[in-house]
Structure 1
Amino acid sequence: MPTDTPLRLRILDAVTDVPAADWDSLTGPDAPPFIRHAWLAAMEESGSATEETGWAPHHLTLWRGPTLVAAAPAYRKFHSMGEYIYDFGWADAAARAGVEYYPKLLVGGPLSPATVPRLLIAEGEDVPLLRKALLSAAVQSARESGCSSVHFLYPTDDEADFLEEQGLARRVTLQFHWKNPGYGSYDDYLSRFDSKRRNQLKRERAAAASQGILLRTVRREELTAAHAKRAHEFYTATCERHAWGQVQLTPGFFSRVFQAMPDTVEMVEAVREGQVIAGAFNLATKERLYGRYWGSVEEHPFLHFHVCLYHSVDDCIRAGRKVFEPGAGGEHKVSRGFEPSAVHSAHVIFDRRLDSAVRDHVRRERARLNLAVEEAERICGLKPWPLPGSREP
């Protein structure tokens, strides 16, 4: 269809309002799992991300006639849980100023703290034009639906540059990722450390064998409904064990993902005396591994590190994967070779006073973050690197 055909905006109340093939045509065949139609549908159809749970689907789609040419997964949010770009302080400031902070419009995915494309554009289309159209649609529809603000979470670096150029406040926060420059073996990886830390990591990893624990990764045709059930049980156990934990994913989410996306799901299991005592639910592409949820029914020294870090690092080296993203937080990962990595978000708040305060906070936060990066680099023994997004927000 000619590109001069007028664009039509359609806001979806569910991602299943558009055929999976149409949506996935925008993401490409090797897309990260978190922007695939099956992932978002599993979130919504399982009752994990619905208006009742504080995630009202509000997906932005642009059409030329009958053809979907651009989309942005979006949700009207009634709380800030499950985002991992923390704005609880902003919500508190809004309350003190008499500003209704919720609902807000979030452009991103539920419970998925991973950098992936947020502005999905069909191949052959005018990318700058459609990015601007999606941004305009987000802002306009947010205002019309009574939202206080628009928040783009975990966009790509290129998208973050674009959003900053359009006047949004760019926020930079940190995750800790393992990166593979081409290790031939786990011993190659250990060689990057000094002898003291190298011996420490060897002792920690050797603990599993001395405890009678065997680690394995279950993939593809080996995955069963029992693995999905176990993944939910481990996830729930971890949430309930911590004061900050909140169970948001239902059993149906895991069963749907295991059934619909067997090409990307992996389960790490720790087995002792024939019983699975711990596990981690991960997602994978050819080049990246994403750590998501873990849990255990027994306590053993270093068990968390075995299941969530060491075993998967070894897996990545064997598979030739370039990056392992184990999720949000976790400064303890630095001493185990996970490097500080910038992740981005972009924000606009319609109340000018609050928007100005947030922009000031973001500027000051970035200065403090540089110090945290320098300390992490010192621990890792890495050369300094500048934080992306150095322009004033």
Structure 2
Amino acid sequence: MPAHAWDALLADCSEPTPFMQHAFLAALHASGSACDATGWQPLLLTAERGGRIEGAIALYLKDHSYGEYVFDWAWADAYQRAGQRYYPKLLGAVPFTPVPGSRLLARSDEARAVLLQGLEQVMRQHRLSSAHLLFMSEADRTSAQAAGWLMRSTVQFHWQNRSGLPYADFADFLATLQRDKRKKIAQERRYVREAGVTFRALRGAEIGTADWDFFYRCYTLTYRAHRSEPYLTRDFFARMAAEMAEHWLLFIAERGGEPIAASLIALDPARQVAYGRYWGATEAVSCLHFEACYYQPLAWCIAQGWQRFEGGAQGEHKMARGLLPVTTWSAHKLSHPAFEEAVARYLEREGPGVAAYVDELREHSPFKRSQSADSTAPTRR
């Protein structure tokens, strides 16, 4: 599908993100990051009328559940124990990217419904166990729910700039937090300063090849520390530098003139949203992770007047840094009636538990009680 046609559909959606742009998805495929060899077989489903494309969705035929961040390992295990085959399954998601946004790129509700029907048809025709849509937009969620898909909720943590009167600077933001949270953040930042660490922020074309090389070294070290292999290849980031440079912000931590850590932030300039993505360090410094992945990006967002910073999947520790819980959604369709019924019962129990968990988290807001809910609550539902 031509890039201009795909991106035109994306531009008409309610929640476009850079991660759904043609260049981003094509780079994942061409770089060998998300491709047949890694268990991500790309597929494209379109809805057309009169020769005009009214909707499209990027799909993957998956033979595992890695790189998704909505965990269905228990479902796969149950299928296997019952003598059924769970993989391959059909997935509508951005590989390795737990960022909510539009998945069904449709010009109308009707086209969105047709795409969902097409997904079910592909699942049946190829005798697949299931189809899944991850980290959906509100419009996608509404359509999937109306079509009878099973809905599943998860929790992320996002920072929202103050509405009406944006934060003037990082100190202004800190002043809205409870005393113990302010003290903890100040202490963590002091540890990094006293270790002699400083930061450089590079955006877009300012990020040179040597900077990308150092970042990728740090990125691979993070995976090595967890005894795993990185999802993304160096070639993927080379393609990002060449084709989507304006969507990246790199923080490089230095000590004694030498780089020791890096954190890469994705940017959506049109919506003024930043996304915490990848980080790594060549040596251990107390609290360096918090500085590189939260405080530096938040200070940058405040200085630029940006609206939101999405901290990524999971992590209650993010609340102490001013990121609040946000509910995200996925939709699921299983081909085996008995398994779909069993999963539906499971989700009926899990859903209220997740909602209660979010309510409990919100009761422990890091912000002062005097702060109005409108000034600190993320807008995404």
Does the alignment reach a TM-score above 0.5?
yes
Q: CA deviation at 1:179?
A: 1.1
Could you tell me which amino acid in structure 2 is paired with residue 247 of structure 1?
A: P
Query: How far apart, CA to CA, are the structure 1 residues paired with 2:233 and 2:205?
Result: 23
Moved more, 35-44 or 264-273: 264-273
**2:352 is equivalent to residue 371 of structure 1:** no
Confirm or deny: 8 A CA contact 2:260 2:281 kept in the other structure: yes
Query: How far apart, CA to CA, are the structure 1 residues paired with 2:288 and 2:281?
Result: 9
| 3-state SS in 2 of match to 1:263 | helix
**2:215 is equivalent to residue 231 of structure 1:** yes
Counterpart mapping for 1:64-213 below 5 A: 64=49, 66-122=51-107, 127-181=108-162, 182-213=166-197
**2:45 is equivalent to residue 60 of structure 1:** yes
Q: Which of 320, 331, 335 is the aligned partner of 1:350?
A: 335
Query: How far apart, CA to CA, are the structure 2 residues paired with 1:249 and 1:138?
Result: 27
Deviations 1:184-234 (A, max 9, x none): 211221122222221111111122221111112211221122233223222
| 3-state SS in 1 of match to 2:364 | helix
Q: CA deviation at 1:129?
A: 1.1
Q: CA deviation at 1:69?
A: 2.6
Q: CA deviation at 1:377?
A: 1.5
Q: CA deviation at 1:27?
A: 1.3
Confirm or deny: 8 A CA contact 1:179 1:323 kept in the other structure: yes
TM-score by length of 2: 0.91
Query: How far apart, CA to CA, are the structure 1 residues paired with 2:40 and 2:229?
Result: 15
| 3-state SS in 1 of match to 2:303 | helix
Could you tell me which amino acid in structure 2 is paired with residue 310 of structure 1?
A: Y
Q: Which of 12, 22, 40 is the aligned partner of 1:37?
A: 22
Q: CA deviation at 1:370?
A: 2.6
Confirm or deny: 8 A CA contact 2:311 2:323 kept in the other structure: no
Q: Which runs of 5+ in 1 are unaligned?
A: 1-17
Deviations 1:274-305 (A, max 9, x none): 11111112110121101111100010110000
Residue-pair matches, total:
367
Identity rate, percent: 35
Query: How far apart, CA to CA, are the structure 1 residues paired with 2:252 and 2:311?
Result: 16
Q: CA deviation at 1:66?
A: 5.0
| Residues 164, 241 of structure 1: alpha-carbon distance in 2 compared, 3 angstrom cutoff | same
Could you tell me which amino acid in structure 1 is paired with residue 6 of structure 2?
A: W
Confirm or deny: 8 A CA contact 1:103 1:146 kept in the other structure: no
Could you tell me which amino acid in structure 2 is paired with residue 93 of structure 1?
A: A
| Residues 388, 351 of structure 1: alpha-carbon distance in 2 compared, 3 angstrom cutoff | farther
**2:299 is equivalent to residue 314 of structure 1:** yes
Q: CA deviation at 1:381?
A: 4.7
C-alpha RMSD of the superposition: 2.1
Confirm or deny: 8 A CA contact 2:249 2:264 kept in the other structure: yes
| 3-state SS in 1 of match to 2:7 | helix
Could you tell me which amino acid in structure 1 is paired with residue 302 of structure 2?
A: I
Name the structure 2 match of 1:261.
244
Moved more, 308-317 or 20-29: 20-29
